[in-house]
Structure 1
Amino acid sequence: MKALTEHLGLTAGAVLLGCIVAIPLGIYLTKTKVQWIRSLSFTITNIFQTIPSLALLAILIPLIGIGTLPAIIALFLYSLMPILRNTYSGFKSIDPGIMEAAKGMGYSPRQRLIKIELPLAIPFIMSGIRLTTVYIISWATLATLIGAGGLGQLIVGGLAVYDKPLIFASALLAMVLALVMDFLLSLVEKAITKSTLSEA
């Protein structure tokens, strides 16, 4: 139970930080006309995605040490790209005619963002969050290698003593956790989409 709680904590912390950074950044990138900022943002987040998990953890150890903090930072860096990309795609997919109509009705930029753009982009954003959550649950199993605990601790412990049932049960629990979170987030996505569209 402790390992599961630790795993959920690592995942929630990383995904929450990813949303706090990537969603506003994605919205900003759809508004800015400065091309190099957009290119640089996607390039940097792409680089984080391509760094192997163990390599990134190894880089963070001498900088931050071991434990939960470096693990969350590493997972946070991995969470950025899917959320950023989907937020950007969601806003860019909005029909310009809809925005022109809202502007003609006297909607301010803030009103257009809250009442028009966000409701229409929510399915894309939630898709990115769902994808990121599943990824992070998987990657978080490696966090035990730097002392962050989680389900990976059970897997590594099972490997150390060649305890097949423990290895299988721990790996299966991580898989089930990813599937359950994906299902729950799909329900949240539907509820938020229905609510925001009804208010738009």
Structure 2
Amino acid sequence: MSAAGLTIRVAAAALLATFLVAPDLFEPLLRPLAPAGAPAVYVQSSLAELAAIHLGLTALATLASAVVALALATFVTRPAGAEFLPLSRSLVNVGQTFPPVAVLAVMVPAVGFGEAPTLIALFVYGLLPIFENALAGLTATPRSVLDAARATGMTARQAFLEVELPLALPAILAGVRLSAVIGLATATIGSTVAARTLGEVVIAGLASSNTAYVAQGAAAIAALAMLISDGFGVVERQAARRLGPSPSAA
């Protein structure tokens, strides 16, 4: 990473942190967007606290999606599980079939309001990109490489852990990045079912016709998404340089 690129990333992260911790400093920028007599800065909850909960929900759901999707992709790329590939694809595509609001509406009667239905919706939506990218990475390993690994005395498990998985890592990370960004955006609507996220600020702005609130919440979410995507991108490039490039479905 160049010094200029690192400086820009650090400056962007510092600006976002300042915005979340001390939003009052940005009141002059938000004031023109607020209705006459209405507050320009959302003060009902701490932006930093909402951002932390928002990120926590996204991270937990993405981790769960990654574990399940990678396990499923590994299974269907083994001889014993190859015939289950069409079924697996159908299962991970289910989450993309319904809009997030519909998933939340279905889950609320089952698990109640709050973070639980939001986590389930994020988990379901995060499966597809990780599964497809893991599948692309694992199936891209040349047969000659696997034959060479087995010829050196590696077991099938060792060949997977020491050859296939490292070579597929850049593609898998690309899928996790995409899933995390999708989850970060989707978590916003969790506030419609009483989950505490940055969507709370956006919804409050829409309910009160206060564009300043909408801009405040949307800006924080967009900045987090860009920083997370950029961070994963750096890790992907480092993995590709160290371990060798792998095709990505993203």
Name the TM tier (shorter chain). Answer: over 0.9
> 8-17 or 181-190: which moved more?
181-190
8 Å Cα contact 2:137/2:169 also seen in 1: yes
1:83 maps to which of 130, 135, 153: 130
Q: Please state how far the C-alpha of 1:190 moved relative to its aligned partner.
A: 3.4
For 2:241 and 2:162, locate their aligned partners in 1 and report how far apart those are by CA, in whole Å: 13
Amino acid at match of 2:153: G
1:45 maps to which of 78, 92, 97: 92
Cross-structure match for 1:73 = 120
Cross-structure match for 1:157 = 204
For 2:229 and 2:95, locate their aligned partners in 1 and report how far apart those are by CA, in whole Å: 23
Cross-structure match for 1:170 = 217
> What CA deviation, in whole Å up to 9, does each residue of 1:81-114 have, x standing for no partner?
1111111110001111111111111111121111
8 Å Cα contact 1:82/1:131 also seen in 2: yes
Cross-structure match for 1:104 = 151
> What CA deviation, in whole Å up to 9, does each residue of 1:66-87 have, x standing for no partner?
1111110111011011111111
For 1:119 and 1:177, locate their aligned partners in 2 and report how far apart those are by CA, in whole Å: 28
5+ residue gaps, structure 1, are none
Taking a change above 3 Å as real, the CA distance of residues 48 and 149 of structure 1, as seen in their structure-2 partners, is: same
1:3 corresponds to 2:29: no
8 Å Cα contact 2:58/2:187 also seen in 1: yes
Cross-structure match for 1:18 = 65
> What CA deviation, in whole Å up to 9, does each residue of 1:24-77 have, x standing for no partner?
111111004445422111101112111111111000011111111111011101
For 1:69 and 1:34, locate their aligned partners in 2 and report how far apart those are by CA, in whole Å: 31
For 1:98 and 1:196, locate their aligned partners in 2 and report how far apart those are by CA, in whole Å: 14
Larger Rg: 2
8 Å Cα contact 2:76/2:83 also seen in 1: no
Amino acid at match of 1:167: V
SS at match of 1:144: helix
Cross-structure match for 1:142 = 189
1:131 corresponds to 2:151: no
For 1:35 and 1:24, locate their aligned partners in 2 and report how far apart those are by CA, in whole Å: 13
8 Å Cα contact 1:119/1:193 also seen in 2: no
5+ residue gaps, structure 2, are 1-47, 245-250
Taking a change above 3 Å as real, the CA distance of residues 133 and 102 of structure 1, as seen in their structure-2 partners, is: same
2:160 maps to which of 113, 119, 125: 113
Cross-structure match for 1:185 = 232
SS at match of 1:70: helix
Paired residues in the alignment total 197
Percent identity between the aligned chains? Answer: 32
Q: Please state how far the C-alpha of 1:191 moved relative to its aligned partner.
A: 3.9
Amino acid at match of 1:70: P
TM-score, normalised relative to structure 1: 0.93
